[in-house]
Chain A
């Protein structure tokens, strides 16, 4: 068709050279429906065209890996014949435009990815980034926070999957572009994973779930563009979630998967029916033919173009064995769902779309999936780095450390997130044995002795200062967090949130971050089993901090060994594992107290990190630890305070070794590879012996007990306050922003 002009291509987010490739792949000009299908399948969101060359460098193999990247989710073997199936995904752009529905449908999407694999979803987590809660955009940020949290709660609570943990950071670069990354974990039989395949010529293709409407058309293309002040006009591209429909789909699909009538299944998420059909076909080298007249439609007069590109939520595409149709239909009828027979598997490798029998699109599946463009985009080290990496701590005034400490406790990034997780049902399914807010989330695996620990972590400020080391630190922190719960890290998923990849500085940040993740994961033997890339996180030309978020899953062989961050009783020894160095670069202290984002992020020695993580696992298995808490945001002072919170008011008195001439540099340094643990007096020697064998520096720095938090540095008193006072500042800070707003 000759009406394809520059304006039409621009509306489809396609470049002229990409159009030329489409014509070459088809051997002719595309129809409008075909152009639409290509545009969503070749969008950044679906094709990973800018990131793919870098993602290939990540370690994805390991003895426990049952499924690496490329399917709906990754899977690792957790023993007892079971697999943990998990993935993290972003829903950043929709959540800025429509916070409640954007976040809710993000949750719905990741849950579908998990049960599509044949796994029952048992835990959700999220990693969120917002702008500051006060100041110029404070009101808008609070509205976004309320909407996102309510959306996550609204979907997860209703469908009955606990939101067991997560992290939230507040910082300026996210004011115009919040991040909503959602993680889900499910359990499946290790030999019962279901794949998104369309095999067996003549097998019927079924469509199940919500009807198709005009919502979300070009959502994938939207997620591949920057924002500007017209973004609100894109609202029709955000979908509306229906957790009840998804609950029915989840139960019906899991019931169907118990039998052997199913060949393959895929959810219709980004790029909808176009993506589900072509990906299922491409994975199996087969073709799929559907007629859109059989697709249940919510609106009248929908074109094939609209039906193929719609991103209406809660829809699944299934391929089942020919002859088994009645039992499949019966299961869906039981759940009041209608399974529509929309097409058939063919042997020609084509996605053939008909509309009332007339062919409207005919595209090789491989052209859409495997032959999408791959770019090695230009990269350049950003010029800002030389300036921001310079930090002269000596020139900074030193405020009274206790004042600084109180300010840190009330900083929204550090303060208790109870206001948030109280809105999430984090206990349903009765598996949560370390509750939200108490460290890494720990979920027991019923029917076994085991439990899984999980943590999502990222530090955009570190990555802004040094994306390579910042990304390594994110891996290390997530792994250390699950180790603090007593787990061995066994698998990872990542969500890579960056700006516009067409800018060489952004692409450089991306490459460096992926390099950092790869190096850290290799050092810890933790494979990446999947994830998601979110680019174009910019508003009005200003990019977010480069923000890779790592989700790490750890295995606890004996669930009774799981521990949390909180002190368990008085008269335990408090120990510091690891060493504090004079490094305030990129710290929360510099940001909150001095308003500075400067310096180098903390140094990281992966051999030391690995030794520490292995030590924690061994010590927890031997039940030598009463609590363990990672030192990160706010340094050892905030870490010690958090050990006393939610611990029935048990205080501690410690004397920490000095790392620098200045008190603040010792107390608030965020040196990596450090953990504060508590242990019974009579088990401390055994713990110190284990640490020595592992080559991890360890020393007793004090004891638990009393009702005060007393921290000295080399004998010099630095912090001395009532635990209740500190806890009150920490626990009320976040809520107070909303109370101020209400009054």
Chain B
């Protein structure tokens, strides 16, 4: 297996940084480094993960302040050159605030935090993080958020759907997208999206929490396996 280098960005208040690091480094055996938000270099990483947590306490809007961290310039440049970037939970929120992904994540419909395993359906497999999944595959992955209710204006939403940029949707055991299977009120059941170039993916569910059988699910592995396969076959996407 080729050695891939993961960078896990650490904002003050990130708290799933250790989990993303553990999965990339210890479960999958790749070089992995924390990158402190005040740094301006990504240390030669091949993949960037913006982890979950409560950056800056999320006292303003989730992810609102983190977008101004020095490291985000490097992340934007990395993404602009085609590098694969995965934002998980708060990382997704940061990507939206930084306008690297469209739309916004607002308070859950019931105004409560939800931590539980949910089912999500893989909608698109032509992103670096889902190419090893099957279209329509149902994954069991935990969510843990109070503000995961995806919202976009009608025009943006239409563009997202038309350009096949909804990557994951909440669904039931049989893969049906229903109101009951939607834990937070997200529009169109959206659990994850990508940018136009498809190299930046934002997800509310936590794949890094579902990579070991002892944790109750290994369905999250496909996101890591995909990006490794992607880089192995193409070199860096920029190449």
Contact = CB atoms under 8 A, between A and B. Distances in A.
Interface of A: 150, 153, 157-160, 242-245, 247-248, 334-336, 421-430, 432-433, 435, 444, 446, 559-560
Given A247-B13, A247-B15, A433-B215, A160 B115 contact: no
Of the listed residues B13, B16, B26, B53, the one surrounded by the most CB atoms of chain A closer than 10 A to its CB is: B13
B109 interface: no
A158 B18 CA distance: 15
Nearest to A560: B214
B235 interface: no
Given A243-B54, A243-B57, A244-B56, A157 B113 contact: yes
A244 B22 contact: no
B146 A432 contact: no
Contacts of B206: 427
Contact of A242 (B18, B57, B112, B114): B57
A425 B113 contact: yes
A430 B144 contact: no
Contacts of A247: 12-13, 15, 54, 57
A432 B114 contact: no
B70 interface: no
Given A244-B13, A244-B56, A244-B57, 16 more contacts: A242-B57, A244-B58, A244-B59, A247-B15, A422-B113, A423-B114, A424-B113, A427-B115, A429-B18, A430-B22, A430-B212, A432-B215, A433-B214, A444-B214, A559-B214, A560-B214
B12 A428 contact: no
A160 B142 CA distance: 15
Interface string B203-221: 0001011001011100000
A525 B25 CA distance: 40
Contacts of A243: 54, 57
B19 interface: yes
Nearest to B183: A422
B19 A430 contact: yes
B161 interface: no
A560 B212 CA distance: 12
A335 B38 CA distance: 10
Given A422-B114, A430-B208, A444-B214, A160 B58 contact: no
Nearest to B16: A428
Contact of A430 (B112, B116, B215): B215
16 contacts: A150-B112, A157-B54, A158-B57, A243-B54, A244-B58, A421-B115, A422-B112, A424-B113, A425-B144, A426-B115, A427-B142, A427-B215, A428-B144, A430-B215, A432-B215, A433-B214
Of the listed residues A242, A427, A432, A444, the one surrounded by the most CB atoms of chain B closer than 10 A to its CB is: A427
B193 to A, nearest CB: 23
Nearest to A447: B26
Contacts of A150: 112
A160 B18 CA distance: 10
Contacts of A244: 12-13, 54, 56-59
Interface in B1-47: 12-13, 15-16, 18-19, 22-23, 26, 36
A428 B54 CA distance: 12
Nearest to B211: A430
Contacts of B214: 433, 444, 559-560
A49 B202 CA distance: 56
Nearest to A243: B57
A245 B114 CA distance: 23
A683 to B, nearest CB: 21
A336 to B, nearest CB: 6
A338 to B, nearest CB: 14
A153 B215 contact: no
Nearest to A451: B214
A724 to B, nearest CB: 15
Given A160-B53, A244-B12, A244-B13, A423 B208 contact: no
Contacts of A335: 12
Nearest to A435: B216
Contacts of B36: 334
A435 B53 CA distance: 20
A14 B95 CA distance: 56
Nearest to A742: B110
Nearest to B116: A422
A428 B89 CA distance: 12
Given A242-B57, A425-B113, A433-B215, A157 B146 contact: yes
A563 to B, nearest CB: 12
B19 A153 contact: no
Nearest to B212: A430
Interface in B82-120: 112-116
Contacts of A424: 113, 115
A160 B56 contact: no
Q: What are the 10 A-B residue pairs with the smallest beta carbon separation, nearest first?
A: A160-B15, A244-B57, A158-B54, A425-B144, A430-B19, A425-B115, A423-B113, A433-B214, A153-B113, A244-B13
A446 B22 contact: yes
B200 to A, nearest CB: 24
A427 B115 CA distance: 8
A427 B209 contact: yes
Contacts of B16: 160, 428
A644 B206 CA distance: 28
Contacts of B53: 160
Contacts of B209: 427-428, 430
B28 to A, nearest CB: 13
A159 B55 CA distance: 10
Contact of B115 (A423, A429, A559): A423
A300 B33 CA distance: 44
Contact of A428 (B19, B59, B112): B19
Nearest to B22: A430
A171 to B, nearest CB: 25
B144 A427 contact: yes
A425 B148 CA distance: 14
A335 to B, nearest CB: 7
Contacts of A425: 113, 115, 144
A421 B112 CA distance: 11
Contacts of A432: 215
A712 to B, nearest CB: 33
A158 B212 contact: no
Contacts of A160: 15-16, 53-54
A244 B13 CA distance: 6
Interface string B102-146: 000000000011111000000000000000000000000010101
A428 B22 CA distance: 12
Nearest to B38: A334
A439 B98 CA distance: 42
Interface in B43-70: 52-54, 56-59
A153 B216 CA distance: 22
A193 to B, nearest CB: 22
Contacts of A435: 216
Contacts of B57: 158, 242-245, 247
Contacts of B56: 244
A160 B23 CA distance: 17
B15 A159 contact: yes
Contacts of A429: 18-19
A429 B206 CA distance: 11
A424 B215 CA distance: 17
Nearest to B54: A158
A122 to B, nearest CB: 10
Nearest to B23: A430
Of the listed residues B15, B57, B114, the one surrounded by the most CB atoms of chain A closer than 10 A to its CB is: B15
A428 B216 CA distance: 14
A444 B215 CA distance: 10
A477 B52 CA distance: 36
B10 to A, nearest CB: 9
Interface in B180-238: 206, 208-209, 212, 214-216
Of the listed residues A421, A425, A433, A444, the one surrounded by the most CB atoms of chain B closer than 10 A to its CB is: A425
Contacts of A159: 15, 54
Contacts of A242: 57
